[in-house]
Structure 1
């Protein structure tokens, strides 16, 4: 049997979802709201300069984007949190591709609003072997133009699902990042971005690997 792509695994998660029709309507309305909000037009894209940041990892150390860029490109992945099964699946796939990606001289940094403790628990529970960084308040996600506030219906829905975002994010604010993917080149220029308001859809790690291979071979990415 051939290996499932990430998209196939995410489609399976959608099919097996336990949310009801009313809850789904709220989520779909959220996708439409984001699409019409102008956020996607202002989010950073290819050609833009990636803002530097300094965030805490699971060992309590602070990591700076520009310091990593001194050693080569960075694959920068934003994600929603350990409670999101789509994020779990994506980070597992990135872990599976990690050796191939790092062999090309590229580092992987993953950013969410959650605390280092929650990131550490996520790594242990799901076998994730990546650098997870905490952006408690979403300042970094906001600087990339991908942070958005939840409305009252969305906040209530996440509460019904047992997801207390105000307790999980250190800032206590009801916001989430769009799970965007970026390839950032040394010097800070963004050479690739994937931004979709539908958090059930993600960049395919195999596609990212192909772009990084092209970069390593002297392509434009």
Structure 2
């Protein structure tokens, strides 16, 4: 009987998630709020190894970045700026983890191109991007590049570029989310926020 109930609940849960429509526009997202928890999922590292998000977050307070992909020039500028500020961020007691729909192989390209030493994570299937509530339907002209960079796993969704500051329990302490892909949090403002949260 317990097995039957567990199977029923799993199917019901899957059906509920399947019915949650991905917003059509970056302006229509419903992200998690300050005080809520980052959901635990298993994703992939640039080495194509499992990345247990809750285990990664337990290591240190985290600057958790979601970006569109290594193909996006605005994302690359943001990743480079974070790389330049990484020592300051580490000195304040934080690690940086950046998540995109890119495949592990394409994360490697981004690491080399943007001189990134912090952790890049692949969410090619959009599991965490959807769970955090920052996914939206990619415009038609982006679908081919998304499909290519996710190795065919994703061709329909993008994350709104976002930065979450998260504690070791996964609680969101601060967030910066901008549907305008050209607008990112400056490293100066981010550093000020991190200092204020200490």
Which TM-score applies when normalising by structure 2?
0.81
Q: Is the 8 A contact 1:53 1:140 kept in 2?
A: yes
Q: Is the 8 A contact 2:126 2:154 kept in 1?
A: no
In structure 2, how many angstroms separate the alpha carbons of the residues matched to 1:118 and 1:75? 21
In structure 2, how many angstroms separate the alpha carbons of the residues matched to 1:167 and 1:71? 33
Q: Is the 8 A contact 1:77 1:109 kept in 2?
A: yes
Deviations 1:4-63 (A, max 9, x none): xxxxxxxxxxxxxxxxxxxxxxxxxxxx9432x3x1xx2112111111222211122322
Unaligned runs of 5+ in 1: 1-31, 217-221
Q: Which residue of 2 aligns with 1:158?
A: 142
Greater strand share, structure number: 2
- 1:204 aligns to 2:186 (yes or no): yes
In structure 2, how many angstroms separate the alpha carbons of the residues matched to 1:164 and 1:68? 29
Q: Is the 8 A contact 2:26 2:135 kept in 1?
A: no
SS in 1 for 2:106: helix
Deviations 1:130-157 (A, max 9, x none): 211000111100000001112xxx31x3
- 1:68 aligns to 2:50 (yes or no): no
Unaligned runs of 5+ in 2: 1-23
- 1:190 aligns to 2:172 (yes or no): yes
Runs of 4 or more above 3 Å deviation? none
- Structure-to-structure mapping, 1:120-199, within 5 angstroms: 120-150=108-138, 154-155=139-140, 157-158=141-142, 164-170=145-151, 171-199=153-181
The structural deviation recorded for 1:164 is 2.2
- 1:87 aligns to 2:69 (yes or no): no
SS in 1 for 2:63: strand
- 1:213 aligns to 2:195 (yes or no): yes
Q: Is the 8 A contact 1:68 1:107 kept in 2?
A: no
In structure 1, how many angstroms separate the alpha carbons of the residues matched to 2:37 and 2:192? 22
Aligned match for 1:34, one of 26, 29, 32:
26
Aligned residues: 174
Q: Single out whichever of 101-110 and 78-87 deviates more from structure 2.
A: 101-110
Deviations 1:85-126 (A, max 9, x none): 000000000000111111222111000001111111111122
In structure 2, how many angstroms separate the alpha carbons of the residues matched to 1:68 and 1:104? 18
